[in-house]
């Protein structure tokens, strides 16, 4: 690993890296519960994983030793990462974490529990984690990642017992630089991807490496100027929902088949003799797996739609700042979220004005809330595209 060992992965966060390095170097600066917050793409879980590797490394995170490599690969025996692939993290998962947290480290220096998307914990799961933080075993470190300190994301009781590490959206040039250095992306494509993703590292890499992702983004950003009639609005809603479902189906079909086969094999499904009794008892296990897979597909579909909605909101935000600039009679050119779609943003600004842009941003945010509250995607998106319709 180049440069700063495990910290090279933490893009555009010098203050955060300095704080975490100090905690690794000085046991007096170490805390048993950490809460990493920051907007999507800021690298919350990347920073937490780098910290976990540095804690297990004899040299504070050189990035080349066995401890660093196994932590970053997700195979270290004393680092347990929870990545929710369904809609929530339930009490059963949380109780399993508490059980693991109580064990002494088997080979590392710490027993590390890392929960990505801790904002998805159910109330019962949060209570179990709170108890673990209140009575921590001696060599256990708990790391939680969440978008913000808002009580909807992290209960106040948990927040007050954690040391908070706040990450920011990394600068676009830092993201472009890491794409060139680490992923070997062409500098021009790296600069475009970093700008088009608004500094979201994972999204920038995806846009740089996957033409389908670039085409999907283009299709989403073509929507606002196409909404000239009711029929166009309903067609756009159909296309957005269809594209999200297609993306989710593609991602889940690869995972589901392998998982189901592995579970069937472990249960002896199709066996004869003594295996038959075990296989018959496995019906419940397969049913539970099916439930988890369904929940994951729903989550992936929602995440895909959410990305589209964030892109749409950002284009209307660009229209808003351009409309305000025009009304103010010029001034410093504003920084746009979608610099490559400036022409579209200018046309939108001329057609809907600042009030129209604000109303449409509100409509997109309301649609995000509706999807989180389990409104059917088709209904939520049709209501949205009708609200986004251009004036005659």
Per-position DSSP letters for 204-264, written without gaps between them: HHHHHH-HHHHHHHHHHHTSGGG--SHHHHHHHHHHHHHHHHHHHHHHHHHHHHHHHHHHH
Residue 222, in any domain of the structure: no
User: Do both 154 and 262 map to the same domain?
Assistant: no
Q: Is 67 within 8 Å of 105 (Cβ atoms)?
A: no
In angstroms, rounded to a whole number, what is the distance separating the alpha carbons of residues 209 and 184? 10
Q: Is 32 within 8 Å of 193 (Cβ atoms)?
A: no
Calculate the dihedral angle through the C-alpha atoms of 292, 295, 297, 299, rounding to the nearest 10 degrees: -130
User: Do both 203 and 271 map to the same domain?
Assistant: no
What is the token pair recorded at 61? 């995170």
User: Domain of 308?
Assistant: 230-387
pLDDT in tens, the chain (392 residues): 546 899 998 999 999 999 999 999 987 778 999 999 998 888 999 999 999 999 999 998 999 999 999 999 999 999 999 888 777 888 888 989 889 888 889 887 899 999 999 999 999 999 999 998 998 888 899 999 999 898 889 999 999 999 999 999 899 999 999 999 988 999 999 999 999 998 888 899 999 999 999 999 999 999 999 999 999 999 999 999 999 998 888 878 877 777 677 767 777 666 565 555 555 566 777 777 777 777 777 778 888 899 899 999 999 999 999 999 988 887 788 889 999 999 999 999 999 999 999 999 999 999 999 998 889 999 999 999 999 999 98
User: Do both 245 and 364 map to the same domain?
Assistant: yes
User: Do both 199 and 309 map to the same domain?
Assistant: no
Residue 221, in any domain of the structure: no
User: Do both 145 and 182 map to the same domain?
Assistant: no
Q: Is 34 within 8 Å of 20 (Cβ atoms)?
A: no
Residue 327, in any domain of the structure: yes
Residue 392, in any domain of the structure: no
Residue 224, in any domain of the structure: no
- Using the 3D structure, point to which of 151, 166, 181 is the last residue of a domain: 166
What is the token pair recorded at 242? 């269809």
User: Do both 126 and 47 map to the same domain?
Assistant: yes
Domain tally for the chain? Answer: 3
User: Do both 353 and 300 map to the same domain?
Assistant: yes
Residue 355, in any domain of the structure: yes
User: Do both 22 and 125 map to the same domain?
Assistant: yes
User: Do both 74 and 186 map to the same domain?
Assistant: no
What is the token pair recorded at 161? 């017992």
Residue 190, in any domain of the structure: yes
DSSP category for residue 85: -
User: Do both 91 and 37 map to the same domain?
Assistant: yes
Residue by residue, what is the 3-state secondary structure of 297-352? HHHHHHHHHHHHHHHHHHHHHHHHHHHHHHHCCCCCCCCCCCHHHHHHHHHHHHHH
User: Do both 258 and 194 map to the same domain?
Assistant: no
Residue 218, in any domain of the structure: no
Q: Is 163 within 8 Å of 31 (Cβ atoms)?
A: yes
User: Do both 22 and 123 map to the same domain?
Assistant: yes
């Amino acid at each position: 690993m180049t440069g700063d060992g495990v910290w090279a992965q933490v893009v555009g966060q010098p203050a955060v890296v300095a704080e975490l390095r100090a905690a690794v170097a000085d046991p007096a600066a170490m805390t048993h519960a950490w809460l990493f917050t920051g907007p999507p793409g800021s690298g919350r879980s990347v920073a937490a994983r780098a910290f976990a590797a540095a804690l297990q490394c004899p040299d504070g995170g050189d990035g080349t030793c066995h401890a660093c490599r196994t932590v970053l690969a997700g195979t270290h025996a004393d680092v347990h990462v929870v990545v929710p692939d369904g809609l929530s993290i339930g009490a059963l998962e949380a109780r399993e974490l508490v059980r693991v947290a109580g064990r002494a480290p088997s080979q590392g220096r710490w027993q590390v529990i890392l929960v990505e998307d801790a904002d998805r914990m159910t109330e019962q799961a949060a209570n179990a984690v709170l108890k673990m933080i209140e009575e921590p075993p001696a060599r256990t470190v708990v790391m939680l990642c969440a978008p913000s300190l808002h009580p909807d994301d992290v209960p106040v009781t948990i927040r007050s017992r954690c040391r908070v590490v706040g990450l920011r959206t990394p600068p676009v040039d830092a993201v472009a630089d890491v794409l060139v250095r680490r992923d070997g992306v062409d500098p021009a494509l790296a600069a475009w991807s970093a700008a088009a993703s608004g500094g979201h590292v994972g999204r920038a890499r995806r846009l740089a490496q996957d033409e389908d992702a670039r085409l999907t983004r283009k299709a989403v950003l073509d929507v606002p100027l196409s909404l000239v009639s009711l029929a166009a609005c309903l067609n756009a809603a159909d296309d957005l929902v269809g594209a999200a479902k297609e993306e989710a189906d593609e991602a889940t079909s690869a995972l589901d088949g392998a998982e189901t086969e592995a579970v069937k094999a472990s249960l002896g499904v199709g066996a004869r003799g003594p295996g038959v009794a075990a296989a018959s008892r496995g019906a419940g296990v397969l049913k539970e797996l099916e439930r988890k897979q369904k929940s994951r597909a729903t989550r992936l579909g929602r995440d895909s739609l959410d990305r589209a909605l964030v892109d749409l909101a950002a284009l209307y935000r660009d229209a808003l700042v351009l409309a305000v600039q025009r009304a103010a009679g010029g001034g410093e050119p504003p920084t746009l979220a979608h610099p490559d779609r400036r022409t579209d943003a200018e046309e939108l600004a001329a057609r809907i004005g600042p009030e129209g842009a604000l109303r449409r941003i509100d409509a997109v945010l309301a649609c995000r809330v509706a999807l989180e509250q389990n409104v059917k995607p088709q209904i939520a998106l049709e209501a949205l595209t009708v609200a986004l319709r251009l004036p005659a």
